[in-house]
Amino acid sequence: MFTLAHLSDIHLSPMPRARHLDLFGKRVLGFVNWHRGRKVVHRRDVLDVLTQDIVGREPDHIAVTGDLVNLGLPEEFVLAAEWLRHLGPPERVTAIPGNHDAYVRLHPERGTGHWQPYMRSNEAGEALVRTPPTAFPFVQRFDDVALIALSSAIPTMPFVAAGSLGSAQRALLGLALEELGRQGLFRVVLIHHPPLAGQAGWRRGLRDAKELTSLLKEKGAELVLHGHNHEQTLFELETVTGPAIIVGVPSASEAVSGRISAARYNEYRIAKVNNGWHCEMIGRAVAESNTHVWECERRILRDV
Ligand SMILES: [Fe+2]
Ligand SMILES: [Fe+2]
């Protein structure tokens, strides 16, 4: 059995001090937004309670699906890299970027480049699917399970949090799904934005959700994990190789304050059984007191 923990939308705090020089364009609005309310919603103490629980349960692997930072300040990327190291070594942790990690156009060396060890294939994955020069999608293989990591993060105008994969990345994803399916692996697709059309509006959604949905139907996948909407959602998509389960997870740092969808992560237990798969999801959420984590859901997603 392989255990995979999935968390998303870290929105790491406290925010480093922003210099006047860094606050231009979209960041000015984000800065005002953060101080008006988001900093009360996304709390470091809540995140720490959640991550302590994950680390303590020692899953085989941990997937972080984006929005690690808030305004895309260079110092935020350094702090997020430190946080990733605290979560575990690159062999056991995979990260992909979200729209907040591409808040403004930034040279990779000053931005997500700091997370590079956590954003690359492993040897077994590379043997099956070569990583393109654009870095995405990259594939990691762990025995019967393969992670296919995508980037839907693109810089956008203020008030827009949309994402896009683009035709080149979609084409490579199609080839990867085919090859990994041929190998009989349990395919887990990681993406920040919700993959299905209608899961988020034009301003916040994945621009090529329709194309991605068709691709998933045509090539098949077993599990698709995403964030962005900051809520727990579960959909089933019928594909050529059986059902693909699509799960969105709430933000990992969201304090309980009247909203139901507070900080939570999901743990997946995946096992090959006869000619099919057994996959169970265990939801673990931060309690109202914000002091500990409890098992809020347990559900068999697949048993064939
Ligand atoms: Fe987010
Ligand atoms: Fe997002």
Query: What's the 228 CA to ligand 2 centre distance in angstroms?
Result: 4
Quick: pLDDT tens for 171-180: 999 999 999 9
Residue position matching structure tokens 């509006």: 201
7: CA distance to ligand 2 center in Å?
Answer: 13
Interval between CA 67 and ligand 1 midpoint (Å): 5
Ligand nearest to the CA of 249: 1
267 CA to centre of ligand 2 in angstroms: 21
Q: Which amino acid is at 49?
A: V
Residue with tokens 């979560």: 87
Tens of pLDDT, residues 127-162? 999 999 999 999 999 999 999 999 999 888 877 899
* pLDDT score, position 261: 59
Q: Are residues 27 and 292 in contact, defined by beta-carbon separation less than 8 angstroms?
A: no
pTM of the model: 0.95
Res 188 pLDDT > 70: yes
Q: How many Å lie between the centroid of ligand 1 and the Cα of residue 250?
A: 9
User: CA dihedral defined by 193, 197, 200, 206, rounded to 10 degrees?
Assistant: 40
Neighbours of 239 (CB within 10 A): 19
Ligand 1 mean position, distance from CA 119 (Å): 19
Range of weakest confidence among 21-35, 56-70, 157-171: 21-35
- What pLDDT, on the 0 to 100 scale, is given for residue 120? 97
Question: Using 50, 70 and 90 to split pLDDT, how confident is the model at 64?
Answer: very high
Evaluate the CA torsion angle 92, 94, 100, 102 in order and state its sign.
positive
List CB-based neighbours of ion ligand 1 within 5 Å. Answer: 9, 67
Q: How far is the CA of 280 from the centre of ligand 1 (A)?
A: 25
170-175: list long-range contacts, CB under 8 Å, 24+ apart.
170/208, 170/211, 170/212, 170/215, 172/132, 172/137, 173/137, 173/148, 173/212, 173/215, 173/219, 174/215, 174/218, 174/219, 175/129
User: How many A from CA of 179 to the centre of ligand 1?
Assistant: 31
**Residue that has been written with the tokens 């692996």 in this structure:** 185
